[in-house]
Amino acid sequence: MKEEFLHYIWQHQYFDKTDLYTVEGELVQVLRVGMYNTDAGPDFKEAIIRVGEVEWSGSVEIHLRGSDWRRHQHQLDFKYNQVVLHVVWEADEAVRRTDGTFIPTLELKNRVNLAMLQTYEQLRRAPYAIPCAGFWPHVPDITKTMMLGRALTERLELKGDEVLQVYRQLGNDWEATAFQVLSKGFGFKINQEHFERLSRALPMQVVRKHQHDLFQLEALLFGQAGFLAEHVDEYSASLAKEHAYLSQKYKLQEQAMQRHHWNFLRMRPANFPTVRLAQLAALLHKHKSLFSTIIQTEGVKNYDALWLAPVSAYWQKHYTFGAESKAVQVQLGKSSAQNLTINVAAPLLAAYAVHTQQLEHLDKAVELLEKVKEASNRITRQYEELGWKAASAADNQAALGLYKRYCQPVNCLRCAIGNKIMKQNLPTT
């Protein structure tokens, strides 16, 4: 058993409260269980507990054994002086505050339904990637639907929070934030880290000054990315010369990256990072106010079109510098465009919704995801094997949120599906 099980039992009061007495023999009444505390200090704050004839307002601390209080050295920590009740599975030792005053103890060992404990252990020790796989068919569909909806909202809020961190780091500049988020999106997993690093090596204030000139944008991007160290043709030499001038003018970090940092292996030429950089330059050239455009665009089809921009003449005939190709795919494919809608537009909308407290932007992000089709992946296929089928990117994102926040860390007691299993003692298949 883990302490989280007792937190769950206390929070939901899933124990027998008939003739409830402390181990010292005083009658206990729980008037308010308190608020679960995820920070340092006692487990539940602002509880109201009547012990004997006295009503106490304070905190509740929970341990598997009474002696854990001493083992965790709470008797020396002033934060725990506010504890008014010590709740334990097994009361093997009395506890005191820093001033030596006694704290009453409530033992739960003989008050909890053992079937609930057994279900908890089955979930905790399940040999499946999704701990509740054996219970899944018996969980009502409405419970699963509601939990997946919650997981989607939480995932969007988490992504929005990540964007807001970037926003604050960049001096509250939404355009610079959009540039960094978009650059990371253009990495499409394989080169994501490198594109993000590139966006940090090229300040948006420099990009802004040259968005009117596609050649200069390419010089900045390819130069900072490390692709212009060697001149393999006249165009790369021209870009290198322009980059050298701009780099000196703006005192850009020299050799921030090198060509060998980028991944080309086992990639279709249309996905080469050189092609993506050309597409990113074209997009920055097309949209002078990128963030505003992303926020104000309406409809999935318009978002598909938003990410498309004509690349320069050189990249209409090349996948890399030097080697000319007859048939070159110069536009983003539909799946790539929708990937940007999912991983760039939706998080930016979520972040802006939190920042402005205008929840219609969050609703718009959810609506976008509901209308975008997205292929299943390794994680969502595990839910499909249980009989659940994703119909949109929203479903996929919900499944990813459920898996990463609840299933993978076996956080079943905080999940509505796990709670239903625990509460109703559902059978396994």
Supply the pLDDT for residue 426: 58
Res. 260 pLDDT band, cuts 50 70 90: confident
212 & 312 share domain:
yes
pLDDT of residue 273: 95
Q: Does 353 fall in a domain?
A: no
pLDDT confidence of residue 255:
61
Choose among 277, 309, 267: nearest CA to 187. 277
370, part of any domain = no
Q: How many CB atoms lie within 10 A of CB 390?
A: 21
Question: Which pLDDT does position 325 carry in this prediction?
Answer: 86
d(CA 171, CA 173): 6
Residues 6+ apart with CB under 8 A from 417: 132, 136, 139, 143, 144, 147
Question: pTM (2 decimals)?
Answer: 0.85
Type of residue at 225: A
pLDDT for residue 52: 93
Within a domain: 421:
no
Helices (runs of H) and strands (runs of E) counted in the chain = 18, 8
Instruction: Output the CA torsion sign for 275, 276, 278, 283.
Output: positive
In 66-218, DSSP assigns E strands to 83-90, 95-96, 102-103, 105-107
pLDDT at 425: 67
The tokens for 232 are 């393999």
Question: What total of structural domains would you count in the chain?
Answer: 2
Checking if the pLDDT of 373 tops 90, the result is no
Taking the C-alpha atoms of residue 147 and residue 419, their distance in angstroms, rounded to an integer, is 11
In a domain, 354, yes or no: no
Q: Does the pLDDT at position 427 exceed 70? A: no
Q: Decide if pLDDT at 162 tops 90.
A: yes
**Section 348-375 average pLDDT:** 93
- What is the structure's pLDDT at 1? 84
Residue 117 lies in a domain: no
Residue 230's pLDDT is what? 86
Percent of the chain beyond pLDDT 90?
85
The residue ranges of DSSP E strands in 97-183, in sequence order, are 102-103, 105-107
The proportion of the chain whose per-residue pLDDT surpasses 70, expressed as a percent, equals 98
Q: In terms of DSSP bridges, do strands 35-36 and 44-51 run parallel, antiparallel, or are they unpaired?
A: antiparallel
Report the Cα 178 to chain-centroid distance in Å.
18
- Residue 428, pLDDT score: 62
Q: What average pLDDT score do residues 33-54 get?
A: 94
Reported as a single tens digit per residue, the pLDDT across 315-335 is 999 999 998 888 777 888 888
280 has a pLDDT exceeding 90:
yes
pLDDT value at 5 more than 70: yes
Across the range 337-360, mean pLDDT stands at 95
For residue 14, what are the domain limits? Answer: 3-112
Beta bridge pairs of residue 95:
103
Helix (H) or strand (E) holding 26: none
The answer to whether residue 71 sits within a structural domain is yes
Give the chain's radius of gyration (CA, Å). 28
Tell me if 216 is assigned to some domain.
Answer: yes
Question: Could you count the other beta carbons within 10 Å of the beta carbon of residue 91?
Answer: 21
Per the domain annotation, does 358 fall within a domain?
A: no
The pLDDT value recorded for residue 423 is 85
Confidence of residue 220 (pLDDT cuts 50, 70, 90): very high
Chosen domain end from 308, 332, 356 = 332
Is residue 30 over pLDDT 70? yes
> pLDDT band at residue 429, thresholds of 50, 70 and 90?
low
Tens digit of each residue's pLDDT (9 = 90 or more) over 46-102: 999 999 999 999 999 999 999 999 999 999 999 999 999 999 999 999 999 999 999
Q: How far apart are CA 411 and CA 420, in angstroms?
A: 14
Question: Would you state the structure tokens that stand for residue 302, as one six-digit string?
Answer: 């318009």
Cα 51 from Cα 252, distance rounded (Å)? 68
Question: Rounded to an integer, what distance in angstroms lies between the CA atom of residue 83 and that of residue 23?
Answer: 16
Q: With 70 as the cut, is the pLDDT of residue 189 above it?
A: yes
Is 199 within 8 Å of 183 (Cβ atoms)?
Answer: yes
Task: Report the alpha-carbon distance of residue 81 to residue 58 in Å, rounded.
Answer: 9
Per-residue model confidence as pLDDT tens digits over 80-95: 999 999 999 999 999 9
Are 100 and 216 contained in the same domain? no
* Residue whose C-alpha is closest to residue 397's, from 365, 426, 423: 365
Q: Over the chain, what is the mean pLDDT?
A: 93
Do residue 106 and residue 208 come from a single domain? no
